[in-house]
Amino acid sequence: MMSSDHLTCVWLLQVLAVFLKPCLVPAGPVQPLNGSECTAKGPASYLLVFTGHWSPQAFPKQYPLFRPPAQWSKLMAVSHNHHFRLWEEGVPATKGVQNFAELGVTVELMKAAKEARKRRSVGAMYRTAGIPNGIGHSSTELLVQPQNSLLSLMVKVIPSPDWFVGVDSMNLCQGGRWTEEVTFDLQPYDAGTDSGFTFSSPNFPTSPAEKVTQITSQMPNHPANSFYYPRLTELPPIASIRVTRQSRSPDRQAPMSNHILPNLISQRISETPLDCEVSLWSSWGLCLGPCSRGGVRHRTRYILLRPANAGVPCPELEEQAECVPHSCTKRQ
């Protein structure tokens, strides 16, 4: 049996450990966002390829065909460390993110990145040309330094109220090794600054502004939304990126480019079923017909959204029912 003095000593050691433990934990995160500190010996050169998969087969609902047709803005990419965020889900959009998501303007984003570069939080900024169709590729070369091994990018969905696709703080370096290749499917995001539901909605500012959120097949939960597909558990990828390490290391950033790479990239075409949507029935029409045989009345409805890709076909648009003409009722 332990003595009381021994028990008291053990108790004091346990209490002391509780008080000392917070002092032994470093302040702030031990590792930067999405990975450990990069200890690679030198920079890495990458080829970044953005691919749009926005087709009328994959996204048949309200697919924009003109004024303007479906297309992608210029791509804005930044290499940085964990002290900088180009954009972030779950927080209100910055002025730069708002201007880019609504108008495709990069001035504020570039200004913020340049200020962060003075503090060495940003390594370099890159842009590619826009893509004039929903399906296509754009590419640029990246030179990533170990101290700024995170990659963030944004591309605006055109037309749209304030929708974009992007990557937030993807780490291209794990410990002392550069990633050789990474492929990432992209989903649409809502910047939370415009309340439009459809691709071609007029300007309708959200006041107060909401947080940046991912758009899904059921959120926003409104039938008018262009991405609302209640039969799907998740949307097909609207775009993707591939980042591949290159054997050479350029001394400077490659010029703006927009290369089509048919031999390197296989285009994925998925077909999303779109069910027919019809209006409510109209009121019944007048009861017409001779009293000897009885009358007939009609009501109608019209198509709101035509089906596509083996979706549920439209039901009957006209219905009739037997009735007794009003004039015959009076005679009785």
Q: How would you write the pLDDT of the chain (332 residues) with one tens digit per residue?
A: 445 555 444 444 443 343 333 333 333 333 334 446 899 999 999 999 999 999 999 999 999 998 899 999 999 999 999 999 999 999 999 999 999 999 999 999 999 999 999 999 999 999 999 999 999 999 999 999 999 999 999 999 999 999 999 999 999 999 899 999 999 999 999 999 999 999 999 889 999 999 999 999 999 998 889 999 988 999 999 999 999 999 864 454 444 444 544 434 455 566 777 788 888 989 998 888 888 778 899 899 988 878 887 778 888 888 888 888 877 765 54
End-to-end CA distance of the chain: 109
Based on the fold, state whether residues 240 and 285 are members of the same structural domain. no
Based on the fold, state whether residues 286 and 221 are members of the same structural domain. no
107: left (phi over 0), alpha (psi -120 to 50) or beta: alpha
Determine the Cα–Cα distance for residues 49 and 141; give it in Å rounded to an integer. 9
Q: Looking at the domain assignment, is residue 213 inside a domain?
A: yes
Based on the fold, state whether residues 146 and 295 are members of the same structural domain. no
Determine the Cα–Cα distance for residues 146 and 173; give it in Å rounded to an integer. 7
Based on the fold, state whether residues 200 and 284 are members of the same structural domain. no
Q: Looking at the domain assignment, is residue 19 inside a domain?
A: no
Q: Looking at the domain assignment, is residue 9 inside a domain?
A: no
Q: Looking at the domain assignment, is residue 18 inside a domain?
A: no
Helix (H) or strand (E) holding 102: helix 95-103
Q: What is the domain-level CATH number for residue 184?
A: 2.60.40.2130
Q: Looking at the domain assignment, is residue 12 inside a domain?
A: no
Based on the fold, state whether residues 240 and 282 are members of the same structural domain. no
Based on the fold, state whether residues 172 and 304 are members of the same structural domain. no
Total domains, the chain: 2
Q: Looking at the domain assignment, is residue 6 inside a domain?
A: no
Based on the fold, state whether residues 178 and 317 are members of the same structural domain. no
Neighbouring C-alpha atoms within 13 Å toward the C-beta of 56 = 10
Q: What is the domain-level CATH number for residue 286?
A: 2.20.100
Based on the fold, state whether residues 202 and 147 are members of the same structural domain. yes
Based on the fold, state whether residues 85 and 227 are members of the same structural domain. yes
Q: Looking at the domain assignment, is residue 215 inside a domain?
A: yes
Structure letter (DSSP) for residue 267? P
Based on the fold, state whether residues 121 and 240 are members of the same structural domain. yes
Supply 316's token pair: 């009957």
The boundaries of the domain holding residue 192 are 44-245
